[in-house]
Amino acid sequence: MLTFIPLKAQAGITGFESPAAEYTDLSLTLDQLLIDHPSATYLGIVEGESMQGVGIFPHDILVVSRAEKVVSGDVIVATLNGTFVCKIADTKYMRLLSSSPDFKTYQLNDGDEFIVEGVVTRSIRMHRPFKRSLI
């Protein structure tokens, strides 16, 4: 079940109570909102600019599920020849697509070491850099 918090737009910032005042005890957590399969989900931080066309930018956080079956057009995280990549899966032609024209399509070959690590189910935009190390 999803709980929406109705917020009314206001022109000023004086003389009104916080719009969240009556919602101080919501039963919905960010985990429940963002993660469908907790035991099969991990988070990753984006490096690189090849997926900006689908709204994934450097330093964003990806919610990646190993429980989802990959279908063509999904954004996936995989290891390709020992390197983590985030690409669009083209399962029909066995290709990895970038969403930016500045990056080439990668045709998977028989000799490639390729493992899908999961499907990107959500991404979280980071408007400010982390103030502390995550490791």
8 catalytically annotated: no
99 catalytically annotated: no
Decide if 50 contacts 98 (C-beta within 8 A).
Answer: yes
Catalytic residue among 50, 65, 98, 123: 50
Catalytic residue among 65, 87, 98, 123: 87
Catalytic machinery residues:
50, 87
